Amino acid sequence: MKSLLLFACLTALPMLAAPQQFQLNLDSVAAKASEHVDVSLNAATLQFAAKFLDANDPDDAKVKKLIEGIEGIYVRHYKFKSAGAWTQVDLEPIRAQLRGPEWSKIVGTTSSENGADTEVWLHLAGNKSIGVAILAAEPNSVTVVNIAGTIDLESLAKLGGHFGVPKVKPADKAHEEK
């Protein structure tokens, strides 16, 4: 019985080792949203999904490589019918957590064109990055992402333009094309 309990504890450990790294408490944002997407994938689900990614398919292969070091992906995406439906105060519970010493903001941009704020934070353990937080707030949508584990951010950015994601062009280039 004891060995069974020990076995259960040992098998549960990997699941407990890489939980969500901050609380995605966005109830006030959710209350105002017209659409929302919640995705929570732990290591076991990611490993299971990886078995169904075709290494011979270029897109699948990229995803398979990308998720190799990931222990969990947690995404909350909210869409609003009108701009200004949410306020910065609604995002304060997330920002307050990211101000903790274990988080380090590596980049933040504000678009003068559409007022989109995008921030990327690294979760640090010593000098090692063990997770990423992405906070993207646009007038009509809010996206908060927590990726636990190690991920190549450049490869993640390169996925834009795949799976039906329109490739974002720099603002001035987009104007030139118009």
Residue 9 in the binding site for other proteins (CB under 8 A): no
**Separation between Cα atoms, residue 107 and residue 91, nearest integer Å:** 17
Q: Which is nearer to other proteins, 9 or 115 (CB)?
A: 115
Task: Scan residues 89-108 and list those touching other proteins (CB under 8 A).
Answer: 107
**Separation between Cα atoms, residue 6 and residue 12, nearest integer Å:** 10
**Separation between Cα atoms, residue 41 and residue 148, nearest integer Å:** 10
Q: CA dihedral in degrees (58, 62, 63, 69; nearest 10)?
A: 150
Minimum Å gap between C-beta 113 and other proteins is 9
Residue 124 in the binding site for other proteins (CB under 8 A): no
Residue 2 in the binding site for other proteins (CB under 8 A): no
Residue 26 in the binding site for other proteins (CB under 8 A): no
Q: In 3D, which of 25, 18, 19, 20 has the Cα closest to residue 96?
A: 25
CB-hemisphere CA count at 13 Å for 23?
7
Helix and strand numbers, DSSP H then E, in the chain: 7, 6
Q: Which one among 33, 91, 147, 148 touches other proteins, defined by CB under 8 A?
A: 147
Minimum Å gap between C-beta 25 and other proteins is 18
Q: Which one among 18, 66, 122, 124 touches other proteins, defined by CB under 8 A?
A: 66
Binding-site ranges for other proteins (CB under 8 A): 37, 39, 41, 45-46, 48-49, 51-53, 63, 66-67, 73, 75, 77, 107, 109, 111, 116, 118, 120, 134, 136, 143, 145, 147, 153-154, 156-165, 167-173
